């Protein structure tokens, strides 16, 4: 009787042949970083598998400690590798060669999957931007006049991007209450998370040449989850006029698995109706839709806080890519752009505590009897997501998680 | 009769033994990038010199296509290499070995000297911030309430940092005049430069551990010139609430020579009197002064526009470094932080056209009879600088220059 295929053996609904996300892992016995593909709850050592089946061309793309060389190789190479991995996992004649190269997920250490070039954070949820605008600028319009004309974004600190599971030290910094005569220094008192979705640029583009929305799948390699940790009190004091700086730059966590863009074909949906005409480079009315039906969930210490729907985002990632390059900015392999906090219209669809608690005024009650306006030391924040896959399946993103450590202030 | 030393032969007042800046060069016959040291108007092939004199340990630090490995090695290594270079250039017995390894400056191509990790741009000139505040926010206070409490900064696009001499394509983007009913798209109509000074981080620091002002010379490898090209019309429309984005991210030019920090000992001066008490991590009243007496000059098509004094900057680079890490943000080798536009109080001490022309209202008259509110296609902007050196000498920075090419809009 022939062996079962590796997919039959290990594949799950969330991590089956339709998903095959990439990550970077090591093991206690062999800590060298190498590329892995997740199947169910195991990790396939991808370059070793390529060599085991004699596919040297694919092995050359995979035999690296980060995804960047594969990402830089461009879409035809991504398709070739994805097809090859699917073949290794299903062909009965390859079972004996490949089966020894899987490791249980709980036996490996997962690392940052790619070297981040530039990190950009957008602000694409109308619900989030409206709520935040009301809280931070109570005397003005909730949305700034530019908000529906362009996807607002800013550059974050690429060197502070860390992989899920990395502890986050509570930042210290300046804050100033409206009634304080001058700022005070100390640990952030309003530490927050932001549940976001990140888009990872594979193929770069030269300076001076804008990238159109249509070229989105030629440049974006895949999608991950992001927690953009935020110090709200530091942010409120520092952000006028040049934007958030230290309130964000201490840590940004990303999930260890990058879901290939083709795995999300079945999740593509029309974005929400836009009520403001768009300039041609942003207009997507006549283009294939790049809204994405990702269902996020935010948990605090294991307790589910909310289920933000990514499909409610006003701006798509294709629009964000077109905007960020329309001035001629070059793309580099490893550029990461995140969506901004994912928040839907519902009370249980908000992606950060700032919104859930009205800037701390209405604390959440947790099942253990405690209350949270903002995060306490020791809190563990976890964001997970899934998307519809083909034929009634689902595509899993795994999770991005992190624990808050106390500030290190003398 | 003994040979003259290489310094006697080539050294100049601006580029003598007290300076010895590092860059990366190639030649038409051997385009491979390698580290060079500038002496007068020649470039010494540094790794080749180290090997020629048998200094293999120093050669290992210098034999790279970028400065990053040397920068990462830390201050004791920087001192060792600097001392070695000085020895090679002066010891008569090394003349025959080293002399063949110099190239005329006009025969080499200069490249980006280091790989940029994160790029941060500050806003440290009180004169600049006051003038810009009046222009952009005529109904509010010129300085925002936080300005004298912390050095305001934001992250820019590291991937858009280019070496002096790189042409800059005029960006296109959205702008909206106050009376326009909706934004329009097109080439930037208010393209500007910003004359700045950049600080290059050599030795990194771990996440969670702030870097004090006292540790500034342990982390900062050297200093370069920066032109932070700016699209004022794009900036005015996009920058609320998250700061400048596409108005800056198309290009930032840096000089090809990084002046080692120890070359600026004689240029250290007290910063201007501060009229607002500072929190302890920023207070430098009792610390060695890190104001720097750099004399900048801005030229447009060869015509001198202004001489901005860096000594007038309200915030020092040591304060900026302490601020950018006080939240626990890690430093990486190759981090670049720039001062913000250098502007002094005088009419001919301003570092950008926005200030010189009151946002285009009072155009400059150039010697060729033309006028400039902002930059025209074909304009060449050049920023140079020097600082006092030891014993009445001067330390040259060379220049950062770039030409504006027309926008590429279909």
> What per-residue confidence (pLDDT) applies to B136?
80
Instruction: Write down the residue that tokens 């950009």 correspond to.
Output: A120
Average pLDDT over residues A203-229: 98
Rounded to an integer, what distance in angstroms lies between the CA atom of residue A34 and that of residue A47?
Answer: 8
Q: Is there a catalytic annotation at residue A128? A: yes
> What per-residue confidence (pLDDT) applies to B137?
83
Tell me A195's DSSP state. Answer: E
The residue annotated as part of the active site, out of A10, A128, A219, A323, is A128
> What per-residue confidence (pLDDT) applies to B85?
98
> Smallest Cα–Cα separation from A226: which of A316, A158, A315?
A158
- pLDDT, one tens digit for every residue, chain B (410 residues): 455 788 888 989 999 999 999 999 999 999 999 999 999 999 999 999 999 999 999 999 999 999 999 999 999 999 999 999 999 999 999 999 999 999 999 999 999 999 999 999 999 999 999 999 998 888 889 999 999 999 999 999 999 999 999 999 999 999 998 889 999 999 999 999 999 999 999 999 999 999 999 999 999 999 999 999 999 999 999 999 999 999 999 999 999 999 999 999 999 999 999 999 999 999 999 999 999 999 999 999 999 999 999 999 999 999 999 999 999 999 999 999 999 999 999 999 999 999 999 999 999 999 999 999 999 999 999 999 999 999 999 999 999 999 999 999 75
Partners of residue A237 in chain B, C-beta under 8 Å: 146
Contact B9, B381 (CB under 8 A): no
Tell me the pLDDT band of A339, cut-offs 50, 70 and 90.
very high
CB atoms within 10 A of CB B337: 28
Partners of residue B249 in chain A, C-beta under 8 Å: 155, 324, 327, 329
Q: Give the largest CA-CA distance in chain B.
A: 80
Rounded to an integer, what distance in angstroms lies between the CA atom of residue A331 and that of residue A218?
Answer: 12
> What per-residue confidence (pLDDT) applies to A8?
87
> What per-residue confidence (pLDDT) applies to B410?
59
- Ramachandran bin of A359, using left for φ above 0, alpha for ψ from -120 to 50, beta for the remaining angles: left
Partners of residue B146 in chain A, C-beta under 8 Å: 174, 176, 183, 237-238, 240
Contact B397, B225 (CB under 8 A): yes
Burial B239-252 (b: 16+ CB within 10 A, else e): bbbbbbbbbbbbbb
Rounded to an integer, what distance in angstroms lies between the CA atom of residue A61 and that of residue A68?
Answer: 9
Rounded to an integer, what distance in angstroms lies between the CA atom of residue B43 and that of residue B89?
Answer: 12
Who contacts A2 (Cβ-Cβ below 8 Å, separation ≥6)? A92, A95
- Domains recognised in chain A with CATH numbers: 6-111 (2.30.30.230), 119-405 (3.90.850.10)
With an 8 Å Cβ cutoff, are A329 and B154 in contact?
no
Tell me the pLDDT band of A93, cut-offs 50, 70 and 90.
very high
> What per-residue confidence (pLDDT) applies to B138?
87
CB atoms within 10 A of CB B367: 8
Determine how β-strand B336-338 pairs with β-strand B119-122: parallel
Distance from CA of B117 to the nearest CA of A (A): 7
Counts for chain A of helices (H) and strands (E), in that order: 11, 26
Express as a percent the part of chain A with pLDDT over 90. Answer: 94
Distance from CA of A347 to the nearest CA of B (A): 25
Provide the 3-class DSSP secondary structure of residue B125.
coil
With an 8 Å Cβ cutoff, are B242 and A326 in contact?
no
ipTM: 0.97
With an 8 Å Cβ cutoff, are A144 and B183 in contact?
no
Residue A160 has pLDDT above 60, yes or no: yes
CB atoms within 10 A of CB B227: 30
Contact A108, A22 (CB under 8 A): no
Rounded to an integer, what distance in angstroms lies between the CA atom of residue A320 and that of residue B356?
Answer: 34
Determine how β-strand A295-300 pairs with β-strand A303-306: antiparallel
Token pair, residue A308, equals 């933000």
Contact A167, A402 (CB under 8 A): yes
Who contacts A321 (Cβ-Cβ below 8 Å, separation ≥6)? A199, A201, A211, A213, A215, A216, A219, A220, A337
> Smallest Cα–Cα separation from B235: which of B332, B316, B142, B156?
B156
Distance from CA of A355 to the nearest CA of B (A): 17
With an 8 Å Cβ cutoff, are B159 and A118 in contact?
yes
Average pLDDT over residues A54-67: 98
> Smallest Cα–Cα separation from B390: which of B264, B208, B306?
B264
Radius of gyration for chain B, computed over Cα atoms and rounded to the nearest angstrom: 21
Tell me the pLDDT band of A1, cut-offs 50, 70 and 90.
very low
Contact A308, A350 (CB under 8 A): yes
Residue of chain A with shortest Cα separation from B187: A327
Q: Roughly how many angstroms between the first and final C-alpha of chain B, as a whole number?
A: 67
Residue A253 has pLDDT above 70, yes or no: yes
With an 8 Å Cβ cutoff, are A155 and B329 in contact?
no
Distance from CA of A50 to the nearest CA of B (A): 32
* C-alpha dist (Å) from residue B200 to A337, B152, B257, B268: 25, 18, 11, 17
Closest in B133, B157, B408 to A118, CB measured? B157
> What per-residue confidence (pLDDT) applies to B178?
85
> What per-residue confidence (pLDDT) applies to B1?
42
Tell me the pLDDT band of A410, cut-offs 50, 70 and 90.
low
Rounded to 5°, the CA angle B253-A67-A164 comes to 95
């Amino acid at each position: 009787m022939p062996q079962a295929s590796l997919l039959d053996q290990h594949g799950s609904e969330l991590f089956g042949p339709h998903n095959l996300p990439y990550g970077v892992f090591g093991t206690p016995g062999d800590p060298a970083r190498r590329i892995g593909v997740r199947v169910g709850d195991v990790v396939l050592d991808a370059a070793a598998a390529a060599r085991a089946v004699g596919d040297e061309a694919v092995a050359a793309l995979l035999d690296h400690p980060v995804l960047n060389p594969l990402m830089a190789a461009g879409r035809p190479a991504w398709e070739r590798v994805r097809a090859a991995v699917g073949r290794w996992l299903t062909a009965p004649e390859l079972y004996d060669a490949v089966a020894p190269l899987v490791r249980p997920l709980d036996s490996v250490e997962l690392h940052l999957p790619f070297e981040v070039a530039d990190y950009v954070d957008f602000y694409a949820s109308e619900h989030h931007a409206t709520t935040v605008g009301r809280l931070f600028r109570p005397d003005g319009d909730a949305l700034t006049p530019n908000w529906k004309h362009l996807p607002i974004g800013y550059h974050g600190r690429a060197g502070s991007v860390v992989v899920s599971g990395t502890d986050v030290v509570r930042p210290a910094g300046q804050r100033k209450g409206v009634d304080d005569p001058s700022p005070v220094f100390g640990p952030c008192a309003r530490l927050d998370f932001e549940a976001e979705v990140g888009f990872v640029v594979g193929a770069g583009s030269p300076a001076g040449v804008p990238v159109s929305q249509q070229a989105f799948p030629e440049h974006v390699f895949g999608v991950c989850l992001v927690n953009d940790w935020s110090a709200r009190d530091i942010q409120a004091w520092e952000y006028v006029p040049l934007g958030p700086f230290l309130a964000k730059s201490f840590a940004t966590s990303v999930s260890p698995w990058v879901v290939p863009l083709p795995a999300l074909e079945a999740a593509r949906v029309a974005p929400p109706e836009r009520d403001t005409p768009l300039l041609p480079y942003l207009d997507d009315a006549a283009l294939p839709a790049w809204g994405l039906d990702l269902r996020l969930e935010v948990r605090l210490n294991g307790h589910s806080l909310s289920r933000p729907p990514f499909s409610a985002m006003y701006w798509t990632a294709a629009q964000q890519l077109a905007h960020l390059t329309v001035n001629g900015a070059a793309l580099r392999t490893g550029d990461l752009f995140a969506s901004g906090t994912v928040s839907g219209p519902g009370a249980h669809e908000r992606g950060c505590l700032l919104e859930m608690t009205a800037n701390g005024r209405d604390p959440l009650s947790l099942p253990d009897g405690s209350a949270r306006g903002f995060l306490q030391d020791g809190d563990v924040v976890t964001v997970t997501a899934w998307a519809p896959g083909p034929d009634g399946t689902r595509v899993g993103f795994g999770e991005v998680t992190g624990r808050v450590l106390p500030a290190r202030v003398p």
